[in-house]
A and B are shown apart, each in its own frame.
Chain A
Amino acid sequence: AQKITQTQPGMFVQEKEAVTLDCTYDTSDQSYGLFWYKQPSSGEMIFLIYQGSYDEQNATEGRYSLNFQKARKSANLVISASQLGDSAMYFCAMREINFNKFYFGSGTKLNVKP
């Protein structure tokens, strides 16, 4: 079964607008971590933001915020004020705490239009 589901293969957003990238996860563990990574066309994976399963506040890192809805098992990434440099693949990932195993979604390709 898919541990991480990203249902948006591709998204377009106008420069300076906000965009939400969806992510749902599947686990029966109580303790886990959720991550978002950015992968530009150059290929490197860049860590963006983290949310722990026990964190009550939604995580924020600059223009990135994570909309964490634990009961729905969703961890959507919100990018505010999109920039052209935000055009990239975005991956949602989950860490199983016990064995430090990570599961990645299939990614969302974001295109920011000028």
Chain B
Amino acid sequence: EAGVAQSPRYKIIEKRQSVAFWCNPISGHATLYWYQQILGQGPKLLIQFQNNGVVDDSQLPKDRFSAERLKGVDSTLKIQPAKLEDSAVYLCASINLRDTPRGEQFFGPGTRLTVL
């Protein structure tokens, strides 16, 4: 079984530019999460999808961040325009309660964003 895929792995941009990240969860995983992890901190939830619907986006800075999961499979997270404080690792995770009722999250390798 393939794991959670994310791309790109690394991205360097200048402030005020835009950037997009892609995530493909494990096949059949209905719930998808995007987290922001600033160096030395724990992951902070940005948005949670159930299939193609948003469950929680209360901590998503909606003036600059957007995310979609149009067909309920892969997802994109966009930042426009980026700020210096957006430098972080962006983690994608998914769960499938039918196969793993404990609900442990499966994480992708992350995208490390550096904003200069």
Contacts and interface: CB of A to CB of B under 8 A. Distances in A.
A35 B56 CA distance: 21
B33 interface: yes
Contacts of B112: 43
Interface residues of B, number: 26
Contact of A44 (B40, B45, B102, B107): B107
Contacts of A103: 45
Interface stretch (A12-20, A68-76, A78-86, A104-112): A104-112
B24 interface: no
Range of interface residues on A (Cβ < 8 Å): 20 to 34
B42 to A, nearest CB: 4
A100 interface: yes
Given A33-B102, A100-B31, A102-B33, A45 B91 contact: yes
Interface string B88-111: 010101010100001111110110
B55 interface: yes
A52 B91 contact: no
Given A45-B107, A47-B106, A99-B48, 17 more contacts: A35-B104, A37-B107, A45-B93, A47-B104, A50-B104, A52-B102, A97-B103, A99-B55, A99-B56, A100-B48, A100-B50, A100-B55, A100-B103, A104-B43, A104-B44, A105-B42, A107-B40
Interface of B: 31, 33, 40-45, 48, 50, 55-56, 89, 91, 93, 95, 97, 102-107, 109-110, 112
